[in-house]
Amino acid sequence: MGYSKTLAAGLFAMLFLAPAVLATDPDPLQDFCVADLDGKAVSVNGHPCKPMSEDGDDFLFSSKLAKAGNTSTPNGSTVTELDVAEWPGTNTLGVSMNRVDFALGGHQPAAHPSPCHRDRHRDERVVRAGETFLIPRGLMHFQFNVGKTEASMVVSFNSQNPGIVFVPLMLFGSNPPIPTPVLTKALRVEAGVVELLKSKFAAGF
Ligand SMILES: *[C@@H]1O[C@H](CO)[C@@H](O)[C@H](O)[C@H]1NC(C)=O
Ligand SMILES: *[C@@H]1O[C@H](CO)[C@@H](O)[C@H](O)[C@H]1NC(C)=O
């Protein structure tokens, strides 16, 4: 399981940890199940179904991913998400897409929720324009624009709602916060270091 990244331009270094455990979304049991995003019924995987629109709008999405996101952010990158929340036809089909834009030096430290991984193996690649790269589901990874221009990539997921965990924000900007003594023990540093990092993420990103 995983998702591929096809680069439209630029140059990235990518890093991730290898899996100890892999899991998959269940295969679809219906041909389609257009998401009723306001539906209240309990659903095993995703949203309840609604009748398909006659004009096919549930399946066709507009040009959202054609537009570059604003990369004037603290991390020099921005994610444009296209998942079941805006693309109801993907409900239960286990697919979605993102676009990620990077300024010079922009980066993304993230992981998509999944099983636990205990292996410390690291794999790193420079990905050039036009190349495709696969990151197995749930692995912690980052992208860093090491090129001399801005860069963009298109990401496809094998989940209709892959979620995302920004590791620094989760550790130092959660609400309520992770107690400092927990982080000092986990990270093997003094409390002052943890407090400094918490101050950087107190307002989120
Ligand atoms: C991008 O975001 C920055 C910071 O929020 C803002 O100052 C700037 O006007 C934005 N640029 C565009 C083109 O929207
Ligand atoms: C980068 O910053 C933007 C806006 O501040 C945020 O929307 C985005 O999720 C951030 N990405 C990461 C990986 O930190």
Q: Look up the CATH number of the domain holding residue 8.
A: 2.60.120.10
Q: pLDDT by residue (tens digit) across 187-198?
A: 899 999 999 999
pLDDT at residue 116, as a whole number: 39
Ligand nearest to the CA of 75: 2
- 66 near 57, Cβ under 8 Å? no
Query: Is 112 marked as a binding-site residue?
Result: yes
> Atom of ligand 1 at shortest distance to CA of 73?
4
The closest of 15, 25, 45 to 33, measured between CA atoms, is 45
Residues 137 and 205 in one domain: no
Residues 158 and 202 in one domain: no
Cα–Cα distance, 93 to 114 (Å, whole number): 18
pLDDT at residue 85 greater than cutoff 90: no
Here the tokens at position 115 are 């099983």
Query: Is 47 marked as a binding-site residue?
Result: no
Residues 90 and 45 in one domain: yes
Ligand nearest to the CA of 70: 1
> Atom of ligand 1 at shortest distance to CA of 70?
1
Q: pLDDT by residue (tens digit) across 138-150?
A: 778 888 999 999 9
Angle between helices 191-201 and 180-187 (to 10 degrees): 110
Does the C-beta of 72 come closer than 6 Å to ligand 1? yes
Q: Residue 42, Cβ neighbours under 10 Å: how many?
A: 6
Cα–Cα distance, 114 to 118 (Å, whole number): 12
> Atom of ligand 2 at shortest distance to CA of 109?
13
Residues 31 and 112 in one domain: yes
Nearest 10 degrees: Cα torsion 160, 83, 1, 8: 160
Nearest 10 degrees: Cα torsion 87, 56, 69, 205: -20
Ligand 2 site: residues with CB under 6 angstroms? 73-75, 77-79, 108-110, 166, 205
Residues 123 and 199 in one domain: no
pLDDT at residue 115 greater than cutoff 60: no
Q: Ligand 2 test: best mutation among 12, 15, 77, most atoms within 8 Å of CB?
A: 77
Q: How many Å lie between the centroid of ligand 2 and the Cα of residue 73?
A: 7
Does the C-beta of 30 come closer than 6 Å to ligand 1? no
* 159: confidence class by pLDDT, cuts 50, 70, 90: confident
Q: Which residues pair with 78 in a beta bridge?
A: 101
* 121: confidence class by pLDDT, cuts 50, 70, 90: low
Residues 190 and 158 in one domain: no
Q: pLDDT by residue (tens digit) across 92-104?
A: 888 888 999 999 9
Q: What are phi and psi of 65, to 5 degrees?
A: -80, -5
pLDDT at residue 113, as a whole number: 57
Quote the number of domains for the chain: 2
pLDDT at residue 38 greater than cutoff 80: yes
Mean pLDDT of all residues in 34-62: 80
pLDDT at residue 72 greater than cutoff 90: yes
Task: Give the range of the structural domain holding residue 186, as residue numbers without chain letter.
Answer: 166-205
Residues 122 and 181 in one domain: no
Residues 94 and 143 in one domain: yes
Contacts of 178 (CB under 8 A, 6+ apart): 171, 172
Residues 117 and 199 in one domain: no
pLDDT at residue 64, as a whole number: 87
Residues 154 and 174 in one domain: no
Residues 175 and 145 in one domain: no
